[in-house]
Amino acid sequence: MQTFNFRNQLHLYRYKIIILLGLLIPFHTSAQYHKKENLPNYDDELIHYGFYIGGHTSGMKVKYNEAYLTNTFDSLHSVIPLESPGFTVGFILNLRIAQYLDFRVLPGVGLYQYTLNYNSFNQTEPQVVQGKKEAFYAELPLLLKYKSQRRGNFRAYIIGGAKPSFEVSGKRPDEVNEDVLLINTFNLAIEFGFGVDIYYKLFKFSPEIRFSRGVSNALFDRQNSFSSPIDQLVTNSVSIYLQFQ
């Protein structure tokens, strides 16, 4: 009997909850659409400036050469790239070229670390030799930003373009005499991502996720024990940016 009453009460409360939600949802939606817009004329301006900070994880994709594929390296089992964290900071120059389209130049500097584990076997036990490259890169992303229609104080967007980068720390690869992993000082990558513009009273805040894939060979062409089994190294990274304009 108690179970029967409990079920009846639950049944009645369920309809009350549904009715209450049905009344609250239109009210909430209406409040969102009638909320006062911050910076209503912001997107009509031709140029905007700002800055950004970001964090990323970066790694490399390895393409083996013919010598490795034909088993010339009897003891080498594999070369495994590792993901490593880093950060980026820079400035924003945004040029409005159409109602929903912007061109963005984002000069900045980023700390990257690229690590490869060389796994080999001898007669007793497996061995791992690590090749590591850590450096600061000056970056110049050139991106197109396609925006959705603004809804209140929010607007979604997608973004894509190219990012050339140049190493600005350490020796050039041709000046290094040690047997280490040598990476080219120049890299070119294709980038794409998405984000959202949030309009506040004094500024616009834009969190963004961006994916980067290298299109140039990052491996320096001088042969040593680290480069001998590799034909090509391609950079990959996933970044989260916090942008203020």
Can you name the residues that pair with 95 across neighbouring β-strands?
47, 103
pLDDT at 51 over 70: yes
Q: CA 8, CA 220: separation in Å to the nearest integer? A: 75
Average pLDDT over residues 119-134: 77
The overall average pLDDT reported for the chain is: 84
Task: Report pLDDT for 123.
Answer: 59
pLDDT tens, residue by residue, 13-27:
454 445 444 544 444
pLDDT at 7 over 60: no
Q: Is residue 234 within 8 Å of residue 187, measured between CB atoms? A: no
What residue segments make up the domains of the chain, in order of their start? 1-32, 43-244
pLDDT tens, residue by residue, 207-223:
999 999 999 999 988 88
Task: Report pLDDT for 180.
Answer: 82
pLDDT tens, residue by residue, 69-93:
776 666 777 888 999 999 999 999 9
Integer angstrom CA distances of residue 40 from 35, 64, 178, 200, 204: 12, 54, 58, 10, 11
Model confidence at 58, in pLDDT bands (50, 70, 90)? very high
Can you name the residues that pair with 134 across neighbouring β-strands?
113
Secondary structure element (H or E) that encloses residue 108, with its range: strand 108-121
Task: Report pLDDT for 11.
Answer: 47
Residue among 96, 81, 106 nearest 183 (CA): 81
Residue 180: other Cβ atoms inside 10 A: 15
pLDDT tens, residue by residue, 136-150:
999 999 999 999 999
Which of the two residues, 33 and 113, has the higher pLDDT score? Answer: 113
Q: CA 91, CA 94: separation in Å to the nearest integer? A: 10
Determine the CATH number of domain 43-244.
Answer: 2.40.160.20
Which of the two residues, 33 and 107, has the higher pLDDT score? Answer: 107
Token readout for 202 is 């004094």
Task: Report pLDDT for 95.
Answer: 97
Task: Report pLDDT for 33.
Answer: 46
